[in-house]
Amino acid sequence: MKKGGNKKTDICCGGDHDHAHVHDHDEEEARIMFVPTLRAVLRSSVCVMGESPLGFTEKVVLLEGKICAVKRFRKLSVKKKEFGRRIEHLADISSRCAYLVSVTAYLYAKRIKFVICDYYPMGFLSLFFWGILGTRKAGHTCLNWNQRLVIIIYIARAIAFIHSQSPSQEKRLQLNVHGNIKSSNVMIKVDFTAELSDYGYTQVAERVEPDGRGHRSKERKRALVVLDIGLACTNRLAEPKA
């Protein structure tokens, strides 16, 4: 399903924005699809929204008041040119689906690599499960059954769109695989519909465990991901004790 209106964007933009000097005069490559400059993004107000082995998700408020989300990667698995090629291809696919978060720009610099995406003030689906948005008591749930069903349908449509990609592979880029589906990658909109983020990011960035706990940490996180998604279909953890 295509994005409506003017959401279809072209990630490639030439001109002076392609190569600039920011902070320590690092050489950088970027593609921009909206007016703010890279300098404006890097000097903006930042609030960390979440963290994962791939990197950090930050809320960025530009000087003119525009809000966007920035995914800052810990470590890339590809070089500069390949990073740009893959992000541009993934962004083009995302822009054609109403159920995937749009990528609006990216930056590859010596000391920082990130992508800029649409911002959703309601936050991640995981916030509703674990009560970060407010106090959650026994017997209380943030989402009613209709809202849960709508979210599940929207994410199922996003996954179906990804799996329908043909050809399924473009050079070394696998197009029909998301690679990192979890509740913290499900963005909730104000009308309680949803969009899936981080499509294909596992093919440009490496997983880095911040605390170095290794295999046991990975297994535990996999179990938590299954639990997160399961909470969308069950209310057991919210039921009061008899």
For residue 170, the enclosing domain spans 125-238
Q: How confident is the model at residue 22 (pLDDT cuts 50, 70, 90)?
A: very low
| pLDDT at 231 exceeding the cut of 70 | no
Please compute the mean of the pLDDT values over residues 16-45 and round it to a whole number: 49
CATH number at residue 90: 3.30.200.20
User: Bigger pLDDT: 211 or 150?
Assistant: 150
Same domain, 92 and 139: no
| pLDDT at 9 exceeding the cut of 70 | no
Which stretch, 15-29, 63-77, 121-135, 158-172, has highest mean pLDDT?
158-172
**For the chain, how many structural domains are there in total?**
2
3 within some domain: no
Return d(Cα 174, Cα 157) in angstroms, integer.
Answer: 19
Over the chain, what is the mean pLDDT?
A: 75
Residues 6+ apart with CB under 8 A from 118: 68, 69, 101, 102, 104, 195
Return d(Cα 159, Cα 152) in angstroms, integer.
Answer: 11
Same domain, 155 and 209: yes
Same domain, 73 and 147: no
Residues 6+ apart with CB under 8 A from 48: 56, 57, 58, 59
Same domain, 157 and 232: yes
Q: What is the pLDDT of residues 81-128, one digit of tens each?
A: 999 999 999 999 999 999 999 998 898 888 889 999 988 988 888 888
4 within some domain: no
Query: Where among 95, 117, 139 does a domain terminate?
Result: 117
User: Bigger pLDDT: 192 or 37?
Assistant: 192
Which single residue is written with the structure tokens 């490496």?
206
Q: Supply φ then ψ for residue 75, to 5 degrees.
A: -150, 130
Same domain, 67 and 17: yes
227 within some domain: yes
Same domain, 197 and 129: yes
Same domain, 167 and 86: no
Return d(Cα 41, Cα 31) in angstroms, integer.
Answer: 13
Return d(Cα 43, Cα 63) in angstroms, integer.
Answer: 8
Please compute the mean of the pLDDT values over residues 68-84 and round it to a whole number: 93
Same domain, 95 and 199: no
1 within some domain: no
Q: Supply φ then ψ for residue 231, to 5 degrees.
A: -65, -20
User: Bigger pLDDT: 75 or 235?
Assistant: 75
pLDDT > 90: percent of the chain:
37
